[in-house]
Amino acid sequence: MFFFAFGEDRCFARQDVAARVVRVLCNVVLWPSMSIGRAPCGESALPLDRRVSMRRIHALELEDQNWMPRVLREGGMAYLRFAAEVAGMAEAIRPVIEDALDRSGEDEIFDLCSGGGGPVLGVARALNEAGREMRVTLSDRFPDPGAVQLVADSAVVGLRYELESIDALDVPPDRPGLRTLFNAFHHLRPEQARAVLASAVEGKRPIAVVEMLQRKPLLAISMLLFAPLVVTLVVPFLRPFRWSWLPLSYLVPAVQLLVVWDGVVSVFRIYTRDELLEMAREVDPEETFEWTVEEFPIPPQPIPGLALVGVPRRDLNEKGPGPSI
């Protein structure tokens, strides 16, 4: 997720400088090499890459391991949060979330597997700026202290971090709102992923699963080639900053290795459109939900993001875009 054309972060002036530097790097240096065969005006992803299939491999992600030192895990999370904040991901995701809110009639969001914050922070801000002030709750099985502090210091109306441990596979039924997972679903094995969807169906809660990546060879290759450089450039601008990240980035490239490894593994773990719909069918055989899968553009990324949205049929106002069951 290192290579997005970055936008602006309004919280930190120095981070905004980094965003501008990385935007130039991505748009001028990286994207021309990644856009060969792209349709005019960036209308679609690389045709060749769409035809090349990759088998899903649930390889080990370092940040998920209990033995991973906290300082490295926090560095990786801070980088992902930086990428989400300055990549313009929030504006790309916002229409998907607004549609799910409108169709379900919900007026709040309960985010699962929030980790260090990531896209949900920007989505909450984007919704605020669009005039949709609502309660947005972040949650995680292992709440991240840095993200808890960021949320506490945020000026976004209604934003909060649930301090209680919340297991996405078994969400307490008293937690209201649209359940969301941003860039987190691929961390789950198929049986765990089905459990997350089943929990929403059993609780009659709408759910939106959003992934910024797809299982495409182009993305894995680009991460291997360019992630180390981008991480090296932005480490001093990550927030909340840890001095220990400097030797772990510039003496021993541990943060870079973490980001590159987990980034490539994430690409191989992403579920495809057909796999997402198949899981939805398995957990909802009586079709009590309306399930849709749609792609959404993330300019200038040549490959769009992917979103699975499930809404209880009794709350359905109108049929949404994308294939459904």
236-253 pLDDT, tens per residue?
999 889 999 999 999 999
Nearest Cα neighbor of 321 from 290, 303, 294 is 294
For residue 186, is it within any domain?
Answer: yes
Residue 222's pLDDT is: 87
For residue 1, is it within any domain?
Answer: no
For residue 138, is it within any domain?
Answer: yes
96 has pLDDT over 60:
yes
For residue 54, is it within any domain?
Answer: yes
315 has pLDDT over 70:
no
For residue 124, is it within any domain?
Answer: yes
Provide the b/e sequence for 146-168 (b: ≥16 CB within 10 Å): bbbebbeebebeebbbbeeebeb
Mean pLDDT, the chain, rounded, equals 83
Q: At what angle do helices 70-86 and 254-269 cross, to 10 degrees?
A: 60
Residue 118's pLDDT is: 75
The structural domain count of the chain equals: 1
Residue 93's pLDDT is: 93
Q: Is 318 left (phi over 0), alpha (psi -120 to 50) or beta?
A: beta
Higher pLDDT, 200 or 154: 200
Residue 142's pLDDT is: 83
For residue 7, is it within any domain?
Answer: no
Residue 7's pLDDT is: 37
CA distances from 170 to 8, 60, 91, 203, 249 (A): 36, 23, 30, 10, 37
279 has pLDDT over 90:
yes
Nearest Cα neighbor of 82 from 133, 150, 141 is 150
Residue 242's pLDDT is: 93
pLDDT tens digits for 22-37?
A: 555 554 434 333 333 3
Q: At what angle do helices 70-86 and 119-129 cross, to 10 degrees?
A: 30
For residue 8, is it within any domain?
Answer: no
Once rounded to an integer, what is the mean pLDDT over residues 95-106?
Answer: 96
d(CA 73, CA 76): 5
Percentage of residues of the chain with pLDDT beyond 70: 80
40 has pLDDT over 90:
no
Tokens of 246: 């400097």
Residue located via tokens 């937690």:
175
Residue 53's pLDDT is: 66
Once rounded to an integer, what is the mean pLDDT over residues 40-64?
Answer: 65
pLDDT range class, residue 77, cuts 50, 70, 90: confident
For residue 299, is it within any domain?
Answer: yes
Q: Return the bridge partners of 305, or none.
A: 296
Single-letter amino acid, residue 220: A
Tokens of 180: 């969301």
pLDDT tens digits for 129-184?
A: 999 989 999 999 888 887 888 888 888 889 999 999 999 999 998 899 999 999 99
Nearest Cα neighbor of 122 from 86, 76, 80 is 86
Residue 243's pLDDT is: 96
Q: What is the DSSP string of 69-129?
A: -HHHHHHHHHHHHHHHHHTTHHHHHHHHHHHHHHHHT--EEEESS-TT-THHHHHHHHHHH
Helix and strand numbers, DSSP H then E, in the chain: 12, 7
Kindly report the pTM of this predicted structure.
0.80
Single-letter amino acid, residue 224: L
On whether the CB atoms of residues 136 and 109 are closer than 8 A, the answer is yes
pLDDT range class, residue 67, cuts 50, 70, 90: very high
Nearest Cα neighbor of 95 from 305, 272, 266 is 305
On whether the CB atoms of residues 179 and 197 are closer than 8 A, the answer is no
Residue 325's pLDDT is: 62
Domain residues for 79? Answer: 13-315
What DSSP character marks residue 282? H
- Report the CATH number that the domain containing residue 157 is assigned in CATH: 3.40.50.150
pLDDT tens digits for 12-21?
A: 445 555 555 5
On whether the CB atoms of residues 293 and 275 are closer than 8 A, the answer is no
Residue 323's pLDDT is: 57
